[in-house]
Structure 1
Amino acid sequence: MNNNIPSQTSGIQPQKKLNIYFTAGIPQLEDTTEIIKLIQSSGAEMMEIGMPYSDPVADGPVIQEAHELALKNGMTIEKLFSQLKSIKNEIKIPVILMGYINPVLRFGFENFCRECSESGVSGLIIPDLPPVEFEKNYREILKLYNLHFTFLVTPETSDERILYLDSLSSGFLYAVSSSSTTGNDNAVLKNEEYLSRLASLPLKNPVMIGFGIKSKEDFNNVTEKADGGIIGTAFVNILLHHRDWKKKAIDFIHSIKA
């Protein structure tokens, strides 16, 4: 797997990066590897794989449903690493694991990072890991295993803190479109003031916008002043609720990339 998260290309109209999120272990336990290959072959530049957790408080109803189903199917961190290792030589785009800190600590943080490295994982997003704890206890371990780490910012995050979180992040900075849970229909996608503020800051990382993107129009709106967009709930909804999810998922990614 490619451990380098793609940076924005130069030019008048650089390509905007598409990052697809899904929860490991849905719709069936063994579908994870097929979905990974499907995302890559459909043209996405990177992907996030959610590690199922019993109390996903930052997620909306669709992704909560996905966590519940994945756990019911028997998905574990150990199983996910096994699946990733089985296809790591076939995957050329960055794979990022996203989840909550408690299961990672139960697994053992350094052991988890070692397994990420051996499984071809490029980086981590752990929204409930405080930055101070990250700096004090975990940053050097991530460096040891050549793993990126991404922090999230919101419209309410001050410029000073955005710059601080950007300085701690590598790979990209995850800019939440609005202060809401994932998949919230009321997410404000084209927050001009917020997106302009992000674009004006001297950030070292590309900015990827997430939460609430459901269509090519949404994607184009949020990426006017950002480097890419992250789609999760709309894609997970296809995996959960469409019998012919493979064709529907491919068509969906193609529709965004068209």
Structure 2
Amino acid sequence: MNKIQKVFENKKAFIPFITAGDPDLSVTEKLVPAMAEAGADLIEIGIPFSDPVAEGPVIQEADLRSLAAGTTTDKIFDSVKRIRKKTQVPLAFMTYINPVYAYGVDTFMKRAADCGIDALIVPDMPFEERQELLPACRRHGLVLIYLVAPTSRERAQVIARESQGFVYCVSSLGVTGVRSQITTNIKEMVDAVKKGNDIPCAVGFGISTPEQARTMSQVSDGVIVGSAIVELVARYGAGCLEPVCSYIREMKAAIETAD
């Protein structure tokens, strides 16, 4: 069992997302350990990108704020190395394939592993093109996380069979962002994945309230929340630690009470 799968051992996992460098990297360095302390089981760190095709306006704006603050991939690697001295919570980079190519695939994976990253999520990489990144991930001990969409159906089983760590189940078609209702049949999607491989399934895209988190965790192994947290960072800036941690404690409590 790898470090990522252990996140789901005997419990439902809460997985928050933040954009590295929003509002700046010094805040990110304080925020990640504080989120772990508040109950985050695994933390996704977004590498800002000028054309984040899977993101809605909230995370797009966070990317732009981060880039405007001078955030670079090299600076993020250095930040994560400092974060690793303060917390052992598993960390995943969420990035697009373009920044990885621009950096150099093998060099990127080596640096990510060296600074303490455990996994990689690349939303614009089709599963069929995984060989572009998988050999380098394996070489450097990173888990490559695959996404399953509501339209995946039979393909979900194929993806599951190749998966390690967990499968990221996308709850809604379209881009990231808070949604008042999630209408996808998540149980059906999770069941399709589990037919292919008994691997943890975490649900993301659109979840923002404790009620949604509780409902999603009743039919899955974990809940991923991004936009709602990034909104708090946008609203409070450098003072975001307590509001974000308070929100994480509330969401964590909600999933722990799921049947």
The answer to whether TM tops 0.5 is yes
Q: 1:144 to 1:196 in 2, by over 3 A?
A: closer
After TM superposition, give the deviation of residue 196 of structure 1 in Å. Answer: 5.8
Q: TM-score, normalised by structure 1?
A: 0.90
Aligned to 2:153: 158
- Partner residue of 2:135 out of 113, 136, 140: 140
Q: Structure 1 residues 36-45 or 186-195, which shifts more?
A: 186-195
Q: TM-score, normalised by structure 2?
A: 0.90
Asked whether the 8 Å contact 2:165–2:199 carries over to 1, the reply is: yes
After TM superposition, give the deviation of residue 221 of structure 1 in Å. Answer: 0.5
Say whether residues 1:26 and 2:25 are aligned partners.
Answer: no
Say whether residues 1:220 and 2:249 are aligned partners.
Answer: no
After TM superposition, give the deviation of residue 257 of structure 1 in Å. Answer: 1.7
Q: 1:204 to 1:110 in 2, by over 3 A?
A: farther
Aligned to 2:246: 251
Say whether residues 1:61 and 2:60 are aligned partners.
Answer: no
Q: 1:251 to 1:108 in 2, by over 3 A?
A: same
Aligned length: 250
Q: 1:81 to 1:200 in 2, by over 3 A?
A: closer
C-alpha separation in 1, matches of 2:240 and 2:85: 25
Aligned to 2:75: 79
Q: 1:164 to 1:190 in 2, by over 3 A?
A: closer
Say whether residues 1:231 and 2:219 are aligned partners.
Answer: no
| Mapping for residues 93-172 of structure 1, pairs under 5 Å | 93-135=89-131, 137-159=132-154, 161-172=155-166
Q: Which stretches in structure 2 are left out of the alignment for 5+ residues?
A: 254-259
What is the Cα-based RMSD across aligned positions, in Å? Answer: 1.8
After TM superposition, give the deviation of residue 39 of structure 1 in Å. Answer: 1.0
Asked whether the 8 Å contact 1:124–1:150 carries over to 2, the reply is: yes
Asked whether the 8 Å contact 1:175–1:209 carries over to 2, the reply is: yes
Aligned to 1:210: 204
Aligned to 2:42: 46
Higher helix share: 2
After TM superposition, give the deviation of residue 44 of structure 1 in Å. Answer: 0.8
SS of match in other structure, 2:124: coil
Asked whether the 8 Å contact 2:54–2:124 carries over to 1, the reply is: no
Q: 1:166 to 1:115 in 2, by over 3 A?
A: same
After TM superposition, give the deviation of residue 128 of structure 1 in Å. Answer: 1.4
Aligned to 1:4: 3
**Percent identity among equivalent residues?**
32
